[in-house]
Amino acid sequence: MAELRFVPISEVEKINIFGRLGKVRDPLPLLFNGSAVEVVVTGSDLWIDFETDNDFHEPWVAYELNGAFMGRQMVLAGEHSICLFRNMNPDTPKRVRFYRELQAMSEDDKCKVLVKGFRLDGEFMEVPKYDLKIEFIGDSITSGEGSYGAVTDVDWLAMYMSASVNYATMTAKALNADYHIVSQGGWGVFCGWDNDVRHNIPSIYEKVCGLAMGPSNEALGTQDPYDFDSWQPDVIVVNLGTNDASAFEQPPLYIEELGATFKQRKNEDGSYNREDELKVVNAAISFLEMLRKHNHHAHIIWAYGMLESNLNLTLTEAINKYREKSGDNNVSFFQLPNTTMRTFGAHMHPGAQAHLEASKVLVDYIKEIFNR
Residues engaged in binding its own copies (CB under 8 A): 56-58, 60, 65-74, 76, 82-83, 85-89, 92, 148-150, 152-153, 155, 157, 159, 267, 269-272, 305, 308-309, 312-313, 316-317, 319-320, 323, 329, 332-335, 337-338, 340, 346, 361, 364-365, 368, 372
Query: DSSP for 215-242?
Result: HHHHHTTTTSBP-GGG---SEEEEE--H
Q: Find out whether 78 and 110 touch, Cβ atoms under 8 Å.
A: no
CB hemisphere CA count around 171 (13 angstroms): 31
β-strand pairing of 16-18 with 68-74: unpaired
Q: Which one, 165 or 197, has the nearer CB to its own copies?
A: 165
State the Cα–Cα distance between residues 30 and 100, nearest whole angstrom.
6
Residue 43: alpha-carbon gap to chain centroid:
32
Q: Which one, 87 or 230, has the nearer CB to its own copies?
A: 87
Nearest approach, Cβ of 310 to its own copies (angstroms)? Answer: 9
Nearest approach, Cβ of 369 to its own copies (angstroms)? Answer: 10
Nearest approach, Cβ of 72 to its own copies (angstroms)? Answer: 5
Nearest approach, Cβ of 173 to its own copies (angstroms)? Answer: 12
Q: Which one, 152 or 230, has the nearer CB to its own copies?
A: 152
Nearest approach, Cβ of 266 to its own copies (angstroms)? Answer: 10
Q: Which one, 313 or 348, has the nearer CB to its own copies?
A: 313
State the Cα–Cα distance between residues 59 and 164, nearest whole angstrom.
14
Nearest approach, Cβ of 335 to its own copies (angstroms)? Answer: 3
Q: Which one, 126 or 269, has the nearer CB to its own copies?
A: 269
Nearest approach, Cβ of 261 to its own copies (angstroms)? Answer: 25
Which of 174, 179, 310 is CA-nearest to residue 237? 179
Q: Which one, 21 or 46, has the nearer CB to its own copies?
A: 46
Q: Name the amino acid, one letter, at 304.
A: Y
CA distances (Å), origin 74, targets 68, 162, 229? 19, 12, 34
Q: Find out whether 179 and 235 touch, Cβ atoms under 8 Å.
A: no
Task: Looking at 233-351, list the stretches that DSSP marks H as alpha helix, in order from N- to C-terminal side.
Answer: 242-247, 274-294, 312-326
Q: Which one, 286 or 338, has the nearer CB to its own copies?
A: 338
Q: Which one, 89 or 261, has the nearer CB to its own copies?
A: 89
Nearest approach, Cβ of 106 to its own copies (angstroms)? Answer: 17
Which residues make Cβ contacts (< 8 Å) with residue 29, sequence separation at least 6? 21, 22, 35, 112, 113, 114, 115, 209, 220, 222
Provide the phi-psi class of 70: left if phi over 0, else alpha when psi is between -120 and 50, else beta.
alpha
